[in-house]
Amino acid sequence: MTGLVLAILTALFFPGIILRVKSLMAGRKGPGIFQPWKNIRVLLQKGSIISNTTSYIFRFAPLVYLSTILCATILIPFSTMPSFFGFQGDFILFAYLLGLGKFFFIIGAMDTGSSFEGMGANREALYSMLVEPAFFILFGTLGMITGHSSMQDIFTLFHFTGHNEFIIGIIAIYLLIQIAMIENSRMPVDDPKTHLELTMIHEVMILDHSGFDLALIHIGTNLKFAMYGLLIANIILPSGGSFVYRIGFYMAIQILFAGVIGLLESFRARKKLMKNSQFIVTLSSIALLAFILALLLMNRMIF
């Protein structure tokens, strides 16, 4: 449960840091760090407007979306502390819990009958499908190096002890950052500030959500960013040191992660829709490079 508590605490300031960095890079003062949560508080106090054309799927989708993210976060350990419900191969359940939430989110958007939301749901499903191999290849590589398939054992036994492990670790961090931005529909595949329905992805999928339901979606998105930051922190965190030291190190990593996302979104242009698929598939190729390097490291490559 430690990982879930830390992820929730991180989600309180994570989106605000991203906005703050983007504002500073644009030469603006910008909102306060807690402004995104102030907006969510306002939404929580409002009622939801639900179209007569929708069914119970549209009503349940935001709740399922947030619930699956919470359940997936419970599976993530924190440093040497075990997760609440970890087991061998738990990263597979982790991925498909997120997939279940994404599935309900997508069919909830399609349930409105809007052609624009249907286009956004189509793109969201495609990008999630294309990025999935990179995630599994990455964790399969880390599992092969450590000899275990649970996230607790993988993060405990993986260390930056040599040049090869360092390279694999850097690749893993890079891939998790890119996967986090794709899964949260951020640059370069989507722009959360755009308002052109023909090119929107995430934003066009929540056009019919309002009030409390919209707040649940925003909370889930903020928590998902913190969840991927927790995965990155587990790779970097040293196994030694006191609990307070590891908490401080974790917070520093999350703040750095949020700052990196803000910088990337400030100096990164959105790709054309036809180029997004090529970019996402490239991540699987990079994950394969880490896999081949792991095979060479363990002398399992057959020529």
Q: Is the pLDDT of residue 241 over 80?
A: no
pLDDT above 70 covers a percentage of the chain that reads 96
- Residue-level pLDDT at 293: 87
CB-based contacts of 277: which residues, under 8 Å, 6+ apart?
Answer: 126, 127, 130
Q: Is the pLDDT of residue 44 over 70?
A: yes
Question: What integer is the mean pLDDT of 72-77?
Answer: 91
C-alpha–C-alpha distance, residues 212 and 206, integer Å: 12
- Residue-level pLDDT at 26: 84
Q: In Å, how far from its chain's centre is CA 97?
A: 13
C-alpha–C-alpha distance, residues 12 and 253, integer Å: 15
Q: Is the pLDDT of residue 132 over 80?
A: yes
- Residue-level pLDDT at 302: 55
Question: What integer is the mean pLDDT of 257-262?
Answer: 92
Question: What integer is the mean pLDDT of 199-212?
Answer: 81
Stretch (H or E) spanning 85: none
Question: What confidence tier does 300 reach under pLDDT thresholds 50, 70, 90?
Answer: low
Q: What is the pLDDT of residues 143-196, one digit of tens each?
A: 988 888 899 889 888 887 777 788 888 999 999 999 999 988 888 888 777 766
Q: 115-119, 156-160, 198-202, 233-237 — which one is most confidently predicted on average?
A: 233-237
Inter-residue contact 276 to 124 (CB < 8 Å): no
Question: What confidence tier does 284 reach under pLDDT thresholds 50, 70, 90?
Answer: very high
Structure tokens at 8: 């929730």
Question: What integer is the mean pLDDT of 36-64?
Answer: 88
Inter-residue contact 176 to 232 (CB < 8 Å): yes
CB-based contacts of 59: which residues, under 8 Å, 6+ apart?
Answer: 50, 213
- Residue-level pLDDT at 296: 83
Question: What confidence tier does 4 reach under pLDDT thresholds 50, 70, 90?
Answer: confident
Inter-residue contact 66 to 220 (CB < 8 Å): yes
Question: What confidence tier does 94 reach under pLDDT thresholds 50, 70, 90?
Answer: very high
Q: Is the pLDDT of residue 298 over 80?
A: no
Buried b (16+ CB within 10 A) or exposed e, 272-294: eeeebbeebeebbebbeebbebb
- Residue-level pLDDT at 270: 81
Buried b (16+ CB within 10 A) or exposed e, 155-187: bbebeeeeeebeebbebbbbbbbbbbbbbbbbb
Question: What integer is the mean pLDDT of 10-35?
Answer: 88
Environment class of 118 (CB within 10 Å of its CB; exposed 0-12, middle 13-18, buried 19+): middle
- State how far the alpha carbon of 120 is from the alpha carbons of 41, 168, 274, in Å: 26, 34, 14
Question: What confidence tier does 71 reach under pLDDT thresholds 50, 70, 90?
Answer: very high
Q: Is the pLDDT of residue 198 over 70?
A: no
Structure tokens at 77: 């350990």
